[in-house]
C-alpha cells in the first residue's frame, strides 16, 4: 500500500473536523471505489479468458506486445 504523505496526527485532526454529511459521503465514495475495483477485476479476468480462447482457436491472431 502507498505510504501517506500525512502524519497520523494530521489525519486524526482532519477526521475530527469532518461533519456527519462529510463522513457519509466519504463512506459512500469508499463503497463505490470498492465496487469499481471489483468490476475492473471481473472484466480483466473475462478479457484474459477470452484472449486465451481466441489464441487457442486462432493461433497467431493475438499479438502480445
**Domain residue ranges in the chain:** 34-59
Whether 55 contacts 61, CB under 8 Å = yes
CB contact set of 38 (below 8 Å; sequence gap of 6+): none
**Taking 70 as the threshold, does the pLDDT of residue 64 lie above it?**
no
pLDDT digits (tens, 9 = 90+) for 5-46: 889 999 889 888 889 999 899 999 999 999 999 999 999 999
**Taking 70 as the threshold, does the pLDDT of residue 55 lie above it?**
yes
Average pLDDT over every residue of 56-61: 87
Whether 49 contacts 57, CB under 8 Å = no
Amino acid at each position: 500500500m502507498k505510504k501517506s504523505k500525512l502524519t497520523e496526527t494530521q489525519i486524526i485532526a482532519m477526521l475530527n473536523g469532518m461533519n456527519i454529511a462529510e463522513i457519509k459521503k466519504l463512506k459512500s465514495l469508499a463503497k463505490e471505489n470498492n465496487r469499481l475495483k471489483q468490476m475492473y477485476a471481473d472484466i480483466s479476468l473475462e478479457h484474459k479468458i477470452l484472449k486465451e480462447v481466441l489464441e487457442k482457436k486462432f493461433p497467431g491472431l493475438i499479438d502480445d506486445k
